[in-house]
Amino acid sequence: MSIFQRTVFLSLIIILLLSCLSSLAFASSDLTTKEDKLVETDRGDYRVNYIKIPLAGDYGFTTSYDEVGTVDSLSSHAQREDGIAAINGTFFDAYTSEDDERYPSGAIMKDGQLLHLMGFGSTFAVKSDDGIKNIKDLDVSRMRFGLNLVIEDRDIRIGRINHPSDNSNMIIAYTPEFSKDVIDEQGTKLVVENNRIVEFTDGPAEIPENGFVVELGTQQAVSQLPENYSPGDKAKLKPSVSDEDREEPIEIEDFIHMVGAGPKLVNNGREDVDLEKDQMTGERHTIKARRSFIGYNDNEVIMGTVDGANHEDTAAICVELGLTEAMALDGGASSGLYYEGDYITRPGREISNALVVNNISEPEDPGMSPSDGGPGSGVGRSSILELEPGNYTVKKFDSNRSEQSKKGSWELDSAPIIRDGRTLMPLRGVIDKLGASLDWDNSSQEVTIKDDGVEVKLTIGETTAKVNGESKIMEISPIIEDSRTLIPLRYANELLGHNVDWISGEEVIEIRTK
């Protein structure tokens, strides 16, 4: 059997674009937003706002805070971390009168450093600082934390990090991230710098830049110190964590970022709300209110907000959205969702901390290479660039790329657009000319493309494509603009088994088909 290969060149004659390329840079932020989507559950129907983050390695999570004990707007949290999306994090003391005493709850970790520890609930944790590639990079568990002060070979149990207590027997560690520079509570304090004891005092203790202060409080705590310790002895904080459900330890060294809130909503694809286990039995956890949630499945992370729901309602929503693991975040007036400079859900107050989504790698569109220099090079985001209709000619060439050997050409009836660095082409302008069949289902907003035994289903607004029934993740979804359907050129062809290359300098997209 002979194997024939045909090469199709799509030459985009773009006068306006070529004149602008030297001064425009395109960044990828191909998250999918769903605003005011009705989600039907057995517990009722709910309007949900959410963002989908594909597990493709292009996006990562980080935690945002100013100082532990202070608050800021959700948009400021996102901008501080150069984020493209963000959601509010854990609970905090929202109603205290002092601006630097609005302490959070739960575990907070950033860049591998445990910045806050107090409370129970569940924890969203990230293991990768180089893009989330699969679910092994994530965890949502009922994590139970332990923390010890280790002096030489002696371990002393510590109750909290960066969270004061009225309990005089509570041993607390304070790090430089705390909102106050000096710890002046009554009782004995141990000062550690560069992993060495430098001071033991009953007076005010300044937190060293490269160390921490341990508030020992009462004589009962002091009695736990090893005998004959002295300045210069080695001292460090040693955290540990276990999974309460699996009853097994977790390697805390594997994690980069954490936000602890709760309760847990979904476990292994099923609703799993247990307020007693998460120690969240107060009224604010049982009434219907605005809720924030985050979770994931094999393909994506989803973070969102819903009004008028309790935790059981939110769990049902998460299951309907296809999440296999999910948990609640702070709710009520703290609940907020941010995307590309704007609020999808605006919080009613400033918040202590947030989960922020970053674009780790910014892949370039095959036809949209950033300039090597000049004004605007490498900075900013262009969300949409739409060019004038009539400037585009699609041409077929044979394999030697000779103009004299072209097989034909045709004009596109409407212009492509460039959205977030990706080229979206009119549905009936390219794919059908390559010999593939097209079918549009208006009720489901679904495009079906068939070519040589391959069936691809693309849904408007969804980044998940079906290739012969198997789910594949794209970095940008098909859209409808001005009553016309546009599809991502690269993915529509690659999913059909073609190879797409950008021929630099010729402004040609080359599609090789088998």
Among 129-133, 146-150, 268-272, 295-299, the range scoring the smallest mean pLDDT is: 129-133
263: preceding bond cis by omega (within 30 degrees):
yes
CA torsion 255-256-261-263 (nearest 10°) is: -40
- The average confidence (pLDDT) of the chain is 79
Residues in the chain: 514
Show the tokens assigned to 48: 């949900």
Res. 3: pLDDT tops 60: no
Output 2 or 44, whichever has higher pLDDT: 44
Residue type, 160: R
| pLDDT class of 374 with cuts at 50, 70, 90 | very low
Taking the CA atoms of 194, 195, 197 and 199 in sequence, report the sign of the dihedral they define. Answer: positive
pLDDT tens by residue, 358-372:
987 644 333 332 222
Structural contact between residues 290 and 305, judged by C-beta atoms closer than 8 angstroms: yes
Show the tokens assigned to 100: 């630097």
pLDDT tens by residue, 196-240:
999 989 899 999 999 999 998 776 667 777 777 788 899 999 999
Task: List Cα–Cα distances, 77 to 130, 151, 361, 381, 407, in angstroms.
Answer: 20, 36, 21, 19, 55
Residue type, 192: V
Percentage of the residues of the chain whose pLDDT score is greater than 90:
49
Output 24 or 281, whichever has higher pLDDT: 281
Res. 434: pLDDT tops 80: no
Residue with tokens 């041409």: 395
Res. 25: pLDDT tops 90: no
Beta strands in 284-376 (DSSP E): 289-296, 300-309, 325-328, 337-339, 342-345, 354-359
pLDDT at position 2 is: 34
**Closest by alpha carbon to 451, among 434, 432, 433, 436?**
436
Show the tokens assigned to 306: 């819903």
pLDDT at position 64 is: 93
Among 191-200, 321-330, 352-361, the range scoring the smallest mean pLDDT is: 352-361
- What's this model's pTM, rounded to 2 decimal places? 0.66
Output 287 or 400, whichever has higher pLDDT: 287
Interior angle at CA 424, CA 418 and CA 427, nearest 5: 150
Output 509 or 275, whichever has higher pLDDT: 275
pLDDT tens by residue, 440-493:
887 778 888 887 778 888 888 787 888 888 877 776 778 877 667 777 766 666
Res. 357: pLDDT tops 80: yes
pLDDT mean over 77-85: 93
Residue type, 466: K
Residue with tokens 């501080």: 80
Structural contact between residues 265 and 182, judged by C-beta atoms closer than 8 angstroms: no
Q: HSE on the CB side for 440, CA within 13 Å? A: 11
224 contacts: CB under 8 Å, gap ≥ 6: 156, 157
| pLDDT class of 267 with cuts at 50, 70, 90 | very high
Show the tokens assigned to 140: 């949502």
Among 3-7, 86-90, 354-358, 474-478, the range scoring the smallest mean pLDDT is: 3-7
| pLDDT class of 302 with cuts at 50, 70, 90 | very high
Interior angle at CA 460, CA 459 and CA 461, nearest 5: 110
Among 132-141, 192-201, 430-439, the range scoring the smallest mean pLDDT is: 430-439
Structural contact between residues 115 and 68, judged by C-beta atoms closer than 8 angstroms: yes
Q: H or E element: which one contains 493?
A: helix 489-495
Q: What is the spatial distance between Cα 149 and Cα 305, in angstroms, rounded to a whole number?
A: 39
Query: Which own/partner pairs from 198-206 qualify as long-range (CB within 8 Å, at least 24 positions apart)?
Result: 198/231, 199/231, 200/231, 206/181, 206/182
pLDDT mean over 150-155: 86
Residue type, 135: I
pLDDT at position 460 is: 84
Q: HSE on the CB side for 470, CA within 13 Å? A: 6
Show the tokens assigned to 507: 């402004």
pLDDT at position 174 is: 97
pLDDT at position 172 is: 95
Interior angle at CA 445, CA 439 and CA 446, nearest 5: 45
| Number of CB atoms found within 10 A of residue 134's CB | 13
Output 488 or 262, whichever has higher pLDDT: 262
Q: What is the spatial distance between Cα 396 and Cα 6, in angstroms, rounded to a whole number?
A: 10
Domains and CATH numbers, the chain: 6-27+365-513 (3.30.457.10), 32-142+244-359 (no CATH), 147-238 (no CATH)
pLDDT at position 494 is: 63
Res. 373: pLDDT tops 80: no
Res. 347: pLDDT tops 70: yes
